[in-house]
Amino acid sequence: MAAMVENGLLAAAFPTVLRHQQTTHQKLSYRPTGRSCPRVSGSSFKTKSSLSSGYYAEQSKKLTEVDGGGPPRWFSPLECGCSRSTNSPLLLFLPGIDGSGHGLTLHHERLGEIFDVWCLHIPVTDRTPLADLVKLVQSTVRSEHNRAAKRPIYLVGESFGASLALVVAAQNPDIDLVLILANPATSLSKSLLQNVVPLWDIIDKHRSISSIPVETILWKLNMINEMQNHLNSNLRTVDAQTLILNSGKDILLSSITEQENLRSVLKRCEVRSFIGNGDPLFLDDTFDLAAAIKRASYYRRGRSVDFISDFMPPSPSEFDMVYDPFRWMDVAVNPVMLSTLDNGKIIRGLSGIPSEGPVLFVGNHMMLAMDLVPLVSKFVIERNITVRTMAHPLYFERLTKDGKLPDLSFFDVFRVLGAVPVTAANMYKLFKLKSHVLLFPGGIREGYHRKGEDYKLIWPVEPEFVRMAVKFGAKIVPFGGVGEDDVLQLLLDSDDQMKIPPLKSLIEELTNEAVRLRTDAGGEVGKQLLYYPIALPKLPGRFYFLFGKPIPTAGREDILRNKDKAKEMYLEIQNEIDKCIVYLKEKREKDPYRNLLARLPYQGFNGFDSQVPTFDI
């Protein structure tokens, strides 16, 4: 009877929340009064919850008042239970010092669309020893692993919960765990001893956020100290894939310092910084936990991430979030997008692009892939088409943990927008799904070209992609892009830098850090040196893209049997791309708004989101 009353009070305290568990593996569901379970289809996303940290504080106070005590147990938000996608991995949320689990308040609906979400609830009066708390989480981890051994289990926690996740991971190296840790409190004792954060400030801050009794806070701080002692000698045994989320404003200690300590020790660890966000990070209503996991490519449903089946197109809010830092490019290079109708007429915009896939876009690569973000984003903005870019492995992995290449976080935007490692198997899967696929056959050699090679196609001899496109009847859309020479003047290319010993050493380091493709290819394509071009920036001109008339491949089975026919189509595609490039280079000379100084007055009067005129088509 007492348990029934307690569960009823919890349901009243959390009107949107609870399928509650009395024991570790037994769930009792509570449907919110006057609210039906939302229906969510596939990979769609709802708008981010409007709940705020103020709501969190209010509900935490209610919890303190009605919490009937008892042992720690799991509950699962109702919304999460009815919106799970197929084969969703299990996410176990480990609460902070408050123990309530209300850190999920702003995130449970979004997380519930891609995970099976359980949250650990530790009543405020509970004094379960650390060893027993670890056993509770560990027993759940092991039983769920036995039930679905091929799927990973996510342990998500902030501060206290992050440390608990590390302890559980250290004791279960044989289980496929993914740790998502926000501001982990793994060096608290050192922090307190150095008076970096006065103890009373910690207590006062937590009480103001969640009305936790002082005794409970002191009990949890003591447990954190126990966990730290354990981790001091066991942290190196953690083999779990780990993502550290750092806001730089942790209540307990300097999370920036702590992230570097953990990153240096943990075998598979990446860091994403959210400097300027609040603390606790999960209660900052500008922070999106589900989006952060996806951006770092940490969402997977199997042993390793599958960039095809695990990919979910960004929601409008996610797209805005990743694209906002690049909106300046719309002003700086103001891309002109042209496409070609089936009758051969060139039009402004992307209406000439086939709506139904499979479609393969094939074109030239500008220096350092400067064209990639404006190119892919315009398809989302104008046509709501997610283009899957076949990208170099350096966007996804490193051969060395610390090196000279940009951090993997630099490439998050490309992965969120649909980039996949360039392999024949991935292209096969994408065509099978009738996707729109973007390929730069010149790859790294073309993207890191030398002086005098602007807009030059540097492709392999063999028609690597033609037969695959024909097999699926894909429409091949050749395109050309120009504008790189309007943005920078290349001063020292790879040939120049290889003559300077320090720069030569840097190039060799960069090249050795990345997985190499086409190592057996001869000619220029086999020369895949990575380097930082030394260039003189120019007053920005403009980027131009022309997508040629789609080339149908359906019914061309003769190409599959005849290598000469395949090479004929290969050369046809190259010729069409060259024609697009020539067209754009000639036409841009007649564009009155080619220069930034000419565009700014127009944009200032009409708005910076307005479509700036260009040459007559």
Kindly report, residue by residue over 409-432, the tens digit of the pLDDT: 888 999 999 999 999 999 999 999
Most confident of 91-100, 534-543, 586-595: 586-595
Same domain? 290 vs 323: no
Report, as an integer, the average pLDDT of 432-445.
94
pLDDT at residue 290 in the model: 93
Residue-wise pLDDT tens digits, 206-229: 555 557 788 888 888 889 889 988
Kindly indicate the confidence band of residue 376, based on its pLDDT and cuts at 50, 70 and 90: very high
Same domain? 439 vs 584: yes
Same domain? 287 vs 425: no
- Whether residue 33 is predicted with pLDDT greater than 50 in this model: the reply is no
Q: Which of 187-196, 276-285, 377-386 shows the lowest mean pLDDT across its residues?
A: 187-196
pLDDT, mean over the chain: 82
Query: Are 468 and 427 within 8 A, CB to CB?
Result: yes
Count Cβ neighbours within 10 Å for each residue of 392-428 and write b for 16 or more, e otherwise.
Answer: bbbbbeeeeeeeebeebeebbbbbbbbbbbbeeebbe
In a domain, 310, yes or no: no
DSSP string, 515-533: PPS-TT--TGGG-------
Percent of the chain with pLDDT over 90: 51
In a domain, 48, yes or no: no
pLDDT at residue 220 in the model: 87
In a domain, 136, yes or no: yes
What distance in Å separates the CA atoms of residue 470 and residue 554, rounded to the nearest whole number? 6
Return the amino acid letter for 575.
Answer: N
Same domain? 448 vs 490: yes
In a domain, 405, yes or no: yes
Residue-wise pLDDT tens digits, 277-296: 766 788 888 889 999 999 99
Choosing from 260, 295, 330, the residue where a domain stops is: 295
Query: Are 69 and 123 within 8 A, CB to CB?
Result: yes
Percent of the chain with pLDDT over 70: 79
Kindly indicate the confidence band of residue 248, based on its pLDDT and cuts at 50, 70 and 90: low
What distance in Å separates the CA atoms of residue 244 and residue 114, rounded to the nearest whole number? 20
Choosing from 295, 326, 342, the residue where a domain stops is: 295
Please, what is the end-to-end C-alpha distance for the chain in angstroms?
Answer: 78
pLDDT at residue 80 in the model: 60
Same domain? 437 vs 550: yes
Same domain? 197 vs 116: yes
Phi, psi angle pair for 480, to nearest 5° = -125, 150
Same domain? 335 vs 265: no
Same domain? 349 vs 284: no
In a domain, 304, yes or no: no
Kindly indicate the confidence band of residue 44, based on its pLDDT and cuts at 50, 70 and 90: very low
Which residue has tokens 């996806």? 294
Structural domain for 351, as ranges? 316-591
CATH number, domain of 200, equals 3.40.50.1820
pLDDT at residue 517 in the model: 62
Q: Number of structural domains, the chain? A: 2
pLDDT at residue 344 in the model: 94
